[in-house]
C-alpha cells in the first residue's frame, strides 16, 4: 500500500502552510474561496482523505465502520455482526451493515457508499463469485483499513479473521472415515473463495492420509443452498454408491438429508452426513446434524480487535494482522453410526 497523502503534500504543491490547508479543508471563514478551491482540487488529485481514524482517537468522537456480508439472513453472519458491534460500540464506533447478495456489482456499490459515508474502516466477507477487488484497493488507496473475515482472498493485503477451514474439513472427513464410511461425497462451492478451497483441501488430505482414493464423481460443486443438497442426492448421485456426505455448508447438508429420507435411506445407518457452520437449526432437525462450529461471534470480535490494533499501532495503516480461530467438530446423530451399532 502506498503512503497515505497528507496535508503537507497539498501544502507543498500549493506553496502554502499546512495550517492554511487544514483551515481550507475545514471551511474556515478567514480562508479565501479561491484558496479553498485550490486546496480541494489538489486534494482530489492526490486522493487525499482526512484521517478520520486518527481524529476519532484524538477527540473520542463516534465514528462509523462499514460491514458487508453476503447474506444478512444467515445466523452465521448475524453472529459475526454481533461480535464486531460488541467491540466497536465499546470503543465509541457505530456499525453500518449492508449485504452484497453474492453479487459483485452490489458489493462494489456498497463499498462506494461506505467511502462516501467516510467510514473509518471496512469489514467484509467476500461474495462467493468475487474475483475482482478494485473496490477494496480503492478504499485502501484512500487510507481506509480493510478487515476481511470468513471468506477472504490473498489478492488483498488486508487484516483477516478466519477459522482454520482446512482443519475443519479434515476433522469432518476423518470423522466420517472413522464411522466406517468408504465413499464420501463432498458438497463444495465453486473454488473462488478461500474457505471452500481449504475445506476441500482438508477433505482430500483426510482421504489420502487414510488410504482412500479420491473419486472426482463424488465432489459436487454448487451454491450450497438447501435445493443444491436435494439436487445432489436426487440427480447427481443416482448412479454413484456412497455412504457418507461432507457438505461445506449446513444448508446443503439439510437438503441432502431431506432427499435421502425421500429415497427411504436411513441416516446414519445407510449414509452419514456432516455439515459446516453449526447453524441454529442443526440441532433441531431429525436426525440432528453433525457439523463444524466456526464460532462466528468470536470471529466478529477478532475482526474488530484487528481493526483497532491496526489503527492504534505505531506502524502505518498498511501493516496488517491475522487471527485464525480453531474449529470444533460437533458430533450428533446424523453421523454417529458406530454408537448406534453399539446400542
pLDDT tens track for 7-62: 889 999 999 988 888 888 878 888 899 999 999 999 989 888 766 555 544 443 34
* Matching fold, domains 52-162+296-324 and 165-294+329-342: yes
- pLDDT score of 311: 85
Give the residue from 343, 2, 337, 329 showing the smallest Cα distance to 170.
Answer: 329
Contact 107, 68 (CB under 8 A): yes
**Interval 132-188: pLDDT, tens:** 899 999 999 888 899 999 999 988 899 999 999 999 999 999 999 999 999 999 999
Helix axes 7-14, 18-25, angle to 10 degrees: 110
Instruction: List, in sequence order, every beta strand (DSSP E) within 275-318.
Output: 291-293
Choices 1.20.1250.20, 3.40.50.2300, 3.90.110.10, 3.40.630.30: CATH for 52-162+296-324: 3.40.50.2300
Q: What is the pTM of this model?
A: 0.79
Cell numbers that stand for 334 in this block: 446424523
Q: Where in the chain are the domains?
A: 1-21+42-49, 52-162+296-324, 165-294+329-342
What is the CATH architecture assignment of 165-294+329-342? 3-Layer(aba) Sandwich (3.40)
Q: Where are the alpha helices (DSSP H) in 33-74?
A: 33-45, 52-59
Give the residue from 288, 162, 185 showing the smallest Cα distance to 245.
Answer: 185
- pLDDT score of 56: 47
**Cα Rg of the chain (Å, integer):** 25
Measured on CA atoms in the order 168, 196, 213, 247, is the torsion positive or negative?
A: positive
Amino acid at each position: 500500500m502506498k503512503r497515505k497523502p497528507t496535508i503537507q503534500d497539498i501544502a507543498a504543491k500549493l506553496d502554502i502552510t499546512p495550517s492554511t490547508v487544514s483551515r481550507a479543508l475545514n471551511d474556515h471563514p478567514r480562508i479565501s474561496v479561491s484558496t479553498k478551491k485550490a486546496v480541494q482540487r489538489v486534494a482530489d488529485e492526490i486522493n487525499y482523505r482526512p484521517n478520520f481514524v486518527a481524529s476519532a482517537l484524538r477527540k473520542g468522537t463516534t465514528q462509523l465502520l462499514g460491514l458487508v456480508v453476503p447474506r444478512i439472513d444467515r445466523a452465521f453472519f448475524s453472529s459475526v455482526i454481533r461480535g464486531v458491534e460488541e467491540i466497536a460500540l465499546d470503543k465509541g464506533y457505530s456499525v453500518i451493515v449492508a449485504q452484497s447478495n453474492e453479487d459483485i456489482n452490489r458489493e462494489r456499490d456498497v463499498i462506494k457508499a461506505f467511502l462516501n459515508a467516510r467510514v473509518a474502516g471496512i469489514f467484509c466477507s467476500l461474495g462467493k463469485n468475487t474475483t475482482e477487488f478494485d473496490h477494496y484497493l480503492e478504499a485502501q488507496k484512500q487510507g481506509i483499513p480493510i478487515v476481511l473475515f470468513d471468506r477472504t482472498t490473498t489478492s488483498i493485503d488486508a487484516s483477516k479473521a478466519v477459522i482454520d477451514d482446512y482443519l475443519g474439513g479434515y476433522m469432518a472427513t476423518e470423522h466420517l472415515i472413522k464411522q466406517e464410511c468408504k465413499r464420501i461425497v463432498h458438497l463444495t462451492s465453486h473454488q473462488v473463495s478461500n474457505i471452500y478451497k481449504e475445506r476441500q483441501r482438508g477433505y482430500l488430505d483426510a482421504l489420502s492420509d487414510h488410504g482412500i482414493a479420491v473419486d472426482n464423481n463424488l465432489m459436487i460443486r454448487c451454491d450450497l443452498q438447501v435445493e443444491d443438497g436435494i439436487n445432489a442426492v436426487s440427480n447427481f448421485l443416482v448412479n454413484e454408491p456412497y455412504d457418507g456426505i461432507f457438505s461445506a455448508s449446513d444448508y446443503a447438508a439439510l437438503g441432502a438429508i431431506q432427499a435421502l429420507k425421500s429415497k427411504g435411506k436411513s441416516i446414519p445407518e445407510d449414509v452419514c452426513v456432516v455439515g459446516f457452520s453449526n447453524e441454529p437449526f442443526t440441532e433441531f432437525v431429525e436426525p440432528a446434524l453433525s457439523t463444524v462450529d466456526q464460532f462466528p461471534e468470536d470471529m466478529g470480535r477478532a475482526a474488530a480487535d484487528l481493526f483497532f490494533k491496526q489503527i492504534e499501532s505505531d506502524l502505518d495503516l498498511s501493516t496488517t494482522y491475522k487471527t485464525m480461530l480453531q474449529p470444533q467438530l460437533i458430533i450428533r446423530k446424523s453421523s454417529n453410526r458406530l454408537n448406534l451399532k453399539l446400542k
